A and B are shown apart, each in its own frame.
Chain A
Amino acid sequence: MPTNGVYDAVVIGAGVCGAITAWRLGEAGQSVLLLEAGEWGPDRVELVGNFARAANKSPGSPYASVEGQQHAPSPENSVGPYYDQISPNDYRSTYERRVGGTTWHWLGNVPRLIPSDFRLKSTYGVGVDWPISYDDLEPDYGAAEQLLGVSGDHDQWDGLLGAHRSTRFPMTKIWQSYSDQKVIAWLGAPTFEGVAITVNSTPQARNSQPYDGRPPCAGNSICVPICPIGAKYDATVHVKKAMLARVPVELLDRAVVTKLETDASGRIDAVVYKTWAGEERTARGKIVVIAAHAIESAKLLLMSGGPQGLANRSDQVGRNLMDHLQGVGVALTAEPVFGFRGPPTTSGIDAFRDGQFREKSAAFRMSLGNDGWGRKEAPQAALDGLVKQGRFGTELRAQLANHVTRQFRISYSTETLPRPDNRVRLSDHLDPTGLPRPKLSFTLEDYNTAAFEHAERAMTFIFDQIGATDTAFDPVSPEKYSPAGHIMGTCRMGRGPTTSVVDSRSRSHDHPNLFIVGSATFPTSGTANPTLTAVALTLRAIPKMRRIMKDIVT
């Protein structure tokens, strides 16, 4: 702790954006306190054991913790529901509260947003425009790819959907699976409703060679919920670097921030937190960076300040809650594609991530699965079916193999629009620590359901092209979509202090020393997994953080 008790920066949340912020500032010689509500938790080997023993292998399965449920509950780790859902459609995406955050169990897909995503309003008349363009953020995207360690095919991606790349990926692509190669060969180069369909390898924060002291991917296939060997990036990488920075970052886990306080000039001058041991303390920083992911960050701001909350002159804190809504189509291929080998996905179809249809219907990105029927049905179901029919022995084994080795799925992930009534508020229901649970309102609209129909038509076409049979689609509806885990929008960035929470450098319009980083700041969702963009925006904010810290004299 600095001798005058005031850190240069107090960072709230040791997930990917908080860890990278803390590390960068520490490397620049600043004193940083990194607070994390959750715990560091058991080591990787133990977590893999938890996963192995879990009957329900959900994303949160390795991380379940009784203490965590009591002191830092999350939608993945709580006794009873954590969200208080008040609208007819549930908001289904969840997150972890622990050192390293939700990147422990993310898949690791890191496509970038595309230029149209930043100008959705100007181009298609829906949503809003970002205060920056793709070109503004492009250098930060490249830097983010270096930090995470991204494997990708530069020639395939440079210029795709209008998004140029000024740097190559740090590593060459994750090799596309045998299944991808068969599908690509069977597909040919068809056109669907005027759109040329091609398959691209997916850029991933997954090593294709030794990188940054971590091994290459060995195809353990359980990226979600955990990479056994650390070939997939997770934010403990930067938490550890932060703790070894030029000025080592002080990490304090098991510390739940309960409110921020301001002085008369509107500067944040106190971060109040409660340890798991029950002690209430205060931390002070020249700047305060909230990096608690989109729901907890909004919740913290709403718990601070007056009835309107903190940093909320715009009345946008908590609003514009977005997600990507997902569905899946399954089929049996004519020949075995041998799923369950390698990462769950190594290729995708990006053809529907843009187009004039976005005036009426959401864009979507498609993934080819390497995991049988993916979320639609686990392979154990095929075993159960055969056993029920009385199959056993070599016949069972052969029939099971014949069926499961031909299982193939395509998933799609649709954008959602920012809506003021899709939002996070504070519930009257409290969590075990006495803090309000998040109260979520989330309603789907025709823009979303039209996209589900569009995607299903496209998948039907693709299955037909590749000669697959026994197709089935999970009925997707507002009640039955699959969540992506992509929580966005609750503290959106923009030019105007009356219509946005932060500026294009993630600094609060209302409080000169407050930054909010991460996917909470996205004005639109696009169809890219949000983490890479969140990191790029964080990197873009760092120089401003440093300028503000320099200007503040305590």
Chain B
Amino acid sequence: MDAKSCARTTRSLGSVERRGSVHAGTSVNQLFMRLSQQLTGFDDLSSSLAETYLTFLRAQPEVAATIDDLLSEFGLLERVGSDLQRFRSRIVENERFSEAIPRIIAIWYTASYRSANGDTHIVGAEPYFQALLWPSIRAHTPGLSGGYFGYWAYPPEN
């Protein structure tokens, strides 16, 4: 693994999971986590939520067959060294993953999953409250303010 990927991996694993070895863990959960970071543009993703989402996605017919291929491809890219262009062409614009990529982004941003027939459903209440759409616009998940009276009179601090 090259220095750049190693640094990225170490940063994204966080202090709790940091390993001594240069070869950071390649468990599928961690692969999925790092893939999700690349896709969402968020570095600080919850590892338990990643596990929840991966388990969930593995059970959905639209993506079940391709998700492991996707993780393998991403793992390969990490090993040989990747930049944004290569990530885009090999992963995001890869026809094989055209059902999976939008759904992985959507599940992190909205905690929801859309089936082939157009039905949408929310993965769960906990994931809903951690949906990334809201921090991305410097707001809060509707229903979970954590704020004080009148915070909305000021521009966001975060």
Contact = CB atoms under 8 A, between A and B. Distances in A.
A221 B142 contact: yes
A338 B138 contact: yes
Classify the interface of chain B: helix, strand, loop or mixed.
mixed
A49 B126 CA distance: 9
A52 B129 contact: yes
Given A55-B120, A218-B147, A178 B139 contact: no
Contacts of A175: 149-150, 152-153
Contact of B137 (A181, A221, A396, A405): A405
Interface residues on A, range: 35 or more
Q: Which of A219, A370, A405 has the most CB of B within 10 A?
A: A219
Interface in A21-78: 48-49, 51-55, 57
Interface in A440-492: none
A527 interface: no
B137 A219 contact: no
Contact of B136 (A222, A387, A401): A401
Given A49-B125, A396-B105, A346 B152 contact: yes
Nearest to A380: B110
Contacts of A396: 40-41, 105
A342 interface: yes
B80 interface: no
A220 B143 contact: yes
A340 interface: yes
A264 B93 CA distance: 81
B112 interface: yes
A401 to B, nearest CB: 5
A405 B144 CA distance: 19
A209 to B, nearest CB: 8
Contacts of B106: 380, 383-384, 387
Contacts of A397: 40-42, 136
B105 A338 contact: no
Given A178-B154, A221-B140, A346-B152, A52 B41 contact: no
Nearest to B144: A220
B61 interface: no
Contact of A393 (B39, B128, B153): B39
Contacts of A341: 139-140, 147, 151-152, 156
A379 B137 contact: yes
Given A55-B122, A392-B38, 19 more contacts: A52-B122, A54-B122, A55-B112, A55-B119, A208-B149, A218-B149, A340-B134, A340-B139, A341-B156, A346-B152, A383-B106, A383-B133, A384-B106, A387-B105, A392-B88, A393-B38, A393-B40, A397-B41, A397-B42
A-B residue pairs, 6 tightest by C-beta: A342-B152, A397-B41, A340-B139, A52-B125, A394-B41, A216-B149
